[in-house]
Amino acid sequence: MKKDKKVTLEIMDTTLRDGEQMQNVSYTPEEKLTISKILLTEVKVDRLEVTSARVSAGEKEAVRKMLDWAKEAQLVDRFEILSFVDKNQSIDWAKSVGVKRVNLLTKGSYKHCTEQLRKTPEQHAQDIQATINYAAENEIEVNVYLEDFSNGIKTSPDYVYYLIDFLLTLPVKRIMLPDTLGVFNPWETYEYVSAVVNRYPEVHFDFHPHNDYGLGTANAMAAAKAGVRGIHATVNGMGERAGNAPLDEVVVTIKDFLAVHFNINEKKLHKVSQYVEMFSGQRLANNKPIYGKNVFTQTAGIHADGDKKGNLYGNKLAPERFGRKRKYALGKLSGKANLEMSLKELAIELSDEEKKILLQKIIELGDKKEVVTTEDLPYLISDIFETPANVPFKLLHCSINSTYELKSIAAIQCAYQGQVLDAYAHGNGGYDAFMNALQELLKKFNIPVPQLVDYVVTIPPGGKTDALVQAAISWEVENNGQKITLTTRGVNSDQNMAAIEATVKMINLIISRT
C-alpha cells in the first residue's frame, strides 16, 4: 500500500456475526438469508462471517439455510464462521452445517492468554495446533483472529510475534488483527500494523476495527495504508457497544483517499443498509455519512445557489454514485435557489412574485420549527394562492373502529372528479384497515396505489398522551418510468389521523405527477 500502484482489498462483512452482538438485535433465518444474498450477489463483498460456532439450534438452522442457497449459487467458499480453540467441537459444528472455512479466535495479548485462559503461551499454542490440525484433517480452512491484538502489540509485542511465528508453521490462510476494544487511533494503527506487515510481507493480514472512539473508519484507512490485504466491516456499523466500522464508510473512504480498489457495487450499499435497518429495528441518525437520509440534502440557500450555477459545492460523494438524488431543504435557512430546485423537481411553475411570497411563508414556518418538504409544496401553494385544483382527491369522511383481539374496521368516503364513493374494510390495526379501504377506492378511481416503504411516528420530547403526533410516511412511486421514494407528513393529536393526512397528501401528489 505504501507504493502508488493500485491494489485490491478484500472486504469481509461480519454483520451477521459481530453485528448481531448489538443489544436487542436478532435476525430470523429468513432475514439472514436475505441479507447474505444481497451482500454477496449485489453489494459483492468478498467474504461473509455469518455466525459463531455452537451458538444455538436456531442459529444452526439459519446457517444451513444460507449454505443450502450458497451451494446452488456456488458461493460456499465465501462463508465463514467464528470458531474457538476447542480442538474438535467448533470444527464438527462447522462440518455439520457445510461451512468450509472458520475464523479461529485465539488470544492476541499476553494478558488475555495468562489471565483469561490461565495458560502459558506455549500451552495456548499447543491447543491452537490441535484445533488447526483437526480442521485440516477435515478439509476446513482456517483463518486466525488475534483477539485483543491492539493491546497485545502495545503491551506484549514479544508474545504477539511468538504467536504469529508459531501460526506460520501451521496451515493458516489469513491472520486477522482486531482492535477488539476500539482503543487504537489512526497513528497507532498505522505504526503497529506497519510493523507487523513489514515483518511478515508475504502473509495475508486482515484488520478488524471497532468504533468505541468513533475512529473505526479512520483506523481501517490507516490499516489499509499500512498494507493489510483485508478489512472487516458491518452494515450500518452494527456491533457490540459503539459498533464496528460501517461498511459503506470504509469502502468509500479508503477508495477515495488511497489508491485502492474494491469489488463492491456502491449503488447497492443503500439497499443493504435499508434491509439491515428494517430487520434489526435499529434506526440510524439522519446525518450518518453515505447512508443517512439527510446527507444529500442541501439546506443553506447559498449551497443550493452554488449547485444551480455550476455544482460549486459538489465533491466525490455525489448522490448518483450511490443510486440516490440531491434534495434541497425548505426552511428558515432556505433561499430562492432551494425553492426553485424543489419546484423544478415537482414540475411546478410560478411567477417571480409568487415564488417570493411562497419563500416568505416557508421561512415563517421554519421559524416556528415546522418542517416543509418538497412534497408539501403543492398544498402550501394551494393554501396561499387558493388553487383548489391542486387537491383533486378529498377524504370526506372516515371512521375507524378498533376492538381488543378483533380486526379493526374502517369506513371511508372519498371524492374525485365529481364522483363520491364509499368503502369498508378490515385490517390488522386502524391504519391497515383504512389503507385496505382506500386501495379499493383508488382502483375504482383509476389512481395508482403507492407502495409504503417506511412509517415513522414522533411526538415532541416530553409530550403527554394528548401531544400532537407527526406521522412521516415514505412511499415508492413511479416517476418517468423510474421508481423514486417520496415522504409525506401529517400532524394530528390522533396517530391514525396523522397517518391518514400524510396518505391523502401522497394521493394528491401522485395525481399531480400523472
Higher pLDDT pick, 13 / 449: 13
pLDDT of residue 383: 58
CA 220 – CA 250 distance, rounded (Å): 7
* Residue 497 contacts residue 511 (beta carbons within 8 Å): no
Please report which helix (H) or strand (E) contains residue 492, including its range.
strand 482-492
Domain that holds residue 429: 391-513
Same domain, 402 and 458: yes
pLDDT of residue 93: 95
**What is the percent of the chain with per-residue pLDDT over 70, rounded to a whole number?**
83
Residue 287 falls within a domain, yes or no?
A: no
Residue 1 falls within a domain, yes or no?
A: no
CA 232 – CA 203 distance, rounded (Å): 17
pLDDT of residue 500: 94
Same domain, 210 and 311: no
For the chain, what is the domain count?
Answer: 3
Same domain, 144 and 202: yes
Q: Which of 45-49, 160-164, 406-410 is predicted with the least confidence, judged by mean pLDDT?
A: 406-410
pLDDT at 422 over 60: yes
Q: What is the pLDDT of residues 335-390, one digit of tens each?
A: 666 667 677 766 677 777 877 777 777 777 666 655 566 666 666 676 566 444 55
Same domain, 238 and 141: yes
Among candidate residues 468, 509, 506, 507, the one with its CA nearest the CA of residue 489: 506
pLDDT at 264 over 80: yes
Q: What is the pLDDT of residues 218-248, one digit of tens each?
A: 999 999 999 999 999 999 999 999 999 999 9
Same domain, 184 and 234: yes
Boundary of a domain, candidates 389, 407, 436? 389
Residue 286 falls within a domain, yes or no?
A: no
Same domain, 324 and 435: no
**What is the average per-residue pLDDT within 133-141?**
96
CA 436 – CA 427 distance, rounded (Å): 7
Boundary of a domain, candidates 351, 366, 389? 389
Residue 288 falls within a domain, yes or no?
A: no
pTM: 0.72
**Mean of per-residue pLDDT scores for the chain:** 86
Residue 410 falls within a domain, yes or no?
A: yes
- E-assigned strand segments in 300-405: 327-328, 394-403
Same domain, 110 and 140: yes
pLDDT of residue 106: 97
Residue 467 falls within a domain, yes or no?
A: yes
Which residues have a catalytic role annotated?
17, 147
Q: Side by side, which strands form the sheet with 469-479?
A: 451-458, 469-479, 482-492
Residue 133 falls within a domain, yes or no?
A: yes
Boundary of a domain, candidates 223, 251, 280? 280
Same domain, 217 and 169: yes
**CATH assignment of the domain containing 254:** 3.20.20.70
Same domain, 208 and 316: no
